[in-house]
Structure 1
Amino acid sequence: MIEIKNLKKVYSGEEKDVEALKGIDLKVEHGEIFGLIGPSGAGKSSFIRCLNLLEEPTAGQIIVDGQDLTALNTKELREARKELGMIFQNFNLLNSRTVADNVAFPLEIADANKEEINDKVSELLELVGLADKADSYPSQLSGGQQQRVGIARALANDPKVLLCDEATSSLDPETTHSILDLLRDINEKLGITIVLITHEMEVIKEICTKVAVLEAGKVVEVGDVIDIFTKPEKNVTKKFVQRIINANVPEELLSRVTVENPEHGRLIKICFVGDSASEPLVSDLVHNFQIDANILYGNIDKIQGIPFGTLIIELTGDLDQIESAIDCLHESDNVRIEVITDEESVSIHY
């Protein structure tokens, strides 16, 4: 659906050039809700603006449905952009126009006739839950309602792709949740591919099917959301995940004897994914290997409806049996194990 090849963006500066994007390669499949997350200054805004050529890339290709947007002339690009709807962080509504007129604006530019415009506006306002606000002005609406108008406007030309630039960062958590529900509903009902830029891992967790992590202009990690949450590889990804799922060993456990004196036992962290979250692994360890297991910390969450749990356990007893138990855990499907042996590893790694 969308293929990005070696995308680069360099901004000229008075003292030196700024390389915002450093050769990004990504693929987004049809119907996906694809998230791109990164810290401030990572290049997220440059990426989304290059994606629909509001910013001209310095190098690279942006291919949508087999068409290379970077190779189009001005007229061809204007037509191609109709396939790319966009919603913004600050809504960007026309305050002098009513809700209906804001939604109608792209259709007017496309020279649609009045009847077509009226029918389409009514359909879209019904879709976003604002059928009763057609004659209101943006200043009369809440932030969430304004963003719904922005979504309706972005859908006016029946795009194949919806680009979301920090679409919920100006909203409170409850309103954010309702907007994400709306985007998910649009994705399912209309089959629109959604590319979502955010700095909020909660947004990625709630709605996205795949995610790419951007750092200093480069994609450092990409994959299914469940995999990124349960086994992040890069430090920047781990930091984002820990904002949602606390995977650090609590401070009060740092002085455990099994960390300072590993000959007395082992301190381990177990991550459970999917059905394994409900399996009696700890009791099986105690029964099968004749060791003691003291649960020190536990947490269970859900990611895309899939259970994900974390346990920190102190194992004591015969060390050979403990090592055999740990080897057995390593062989379990959908279970990830880490042995905590010193202070350098107490911040959990996946």
Structure 2
Amino acid sequence: MIPLDASSAAQALSGVHRATGTSAEEAYARAVWSVLVEPGDGVAGALVSAYGAAEALRLAPEIDDPEVRKARARWMPRLQPSAVGAAIDAARRCGASLVVPGDRDWPVRFDDLDAHAPIALWRRGASAHAESPAVALVGARASTAYGEGVAADLAADLAAAGVAVVSGAAYGIDGACHRAALSAGGATVAFLAGGVDRAYPRGHEGLLTRIAETGAVWSETPCGAAPTKWRFLARNRLIAAMADAVVVVEAGWRSGSLNTAAHAATLGRALGAVPGPVTSAASAGCHRVLREFDGVCVTSSADVLEMLGAASPGPPAGEQGRTDETTRLLDALSPRSGRSTDEVARRSGLAPDEAAILLGFAELEGRVMRDDDGGWRTVGRDRSTRRRTG
């Protein structure tokens, strides 16, 4: 049996989870779920969302639903107290922490994934950078000198500007981005497809240690878990969700980086790509992003900062206060998916009535538009200019 009482749960998580708003039973139950399910399991996510992690564990064997019965068949072989204990012990040995929703360090951006949000996360590193502006820089493992050079320049400039660089710690573009961000003295965050106690690729063991010293290494698979093809694909949604913008630096026609780009587009994250020579197969995926995903053409860090809304012109005299709030408002919007006034208020930290007033001003200025369903989204710069001058 899996102990879910407060004292047993607290003892099991000793040295792994710091109580920062989540009960020991709930945190321990989420650790159990992370052992039971594969990343992104929507059935488990829906149950946990509906009942809470601990109660979902208790009810899962009894729920008479076709989807739950099918899911239960894949969960039950993993329901072993020894497996849960081994994962927690491995986390304790490598100094990893369990982070769950409700904890201070939980990245709230993951809430956008709904039922496919991670049930729990394991982290090496003391700094979460959950609230910092973040950009995911991704690309091919089989990168060229051109791609790695551009990746390093982008990462170093963004890190120096206070932007957290997010990537997947793979060889090629990912590694170049992490190293450049560290060299610039900035923050970088890595997401792994296996446990955070297992350096993958092995050649990046030292790099991952450096990342954990100043940033964070994350995984939703428990310690001891091996990376698999599916887990790499599932991991990509976390890279996209953690970032405010995703940039594909160099990628072939069928690169896994396009999977990250697709997640970014679905989540409404700003999406860009670095163009390459039209004759280069290594950049064919980037050109697909520009053509098929309507990605922003990125040629420098200034383009990326503009995607984040950080490169807008200065305000007229006397309007600094309103413009600062408008910047927060625009940062909370997406050009691709509409968001309600309440959601914009939550993301920007403004009161709902303040957000509504500022949205009205921004609409008059042609900077935002309202969807047919009442949601708000940002307007492209060229369209905004036409509205102001037309």
Question: TM-score, with normalisation over the residues of structure 2?
Answer: 0.23
Structure with a larger share of its residues in strand: 1
Structure with a larger share of its residues in helix: 2
- Which of the two has higher C-alpha Rg? 1
Higher RCO (CA 8 Å, separation ≥ 6 residues):
1
Question: TM-score, with normalisation over the residues of structure 1?
Answer: 0.25
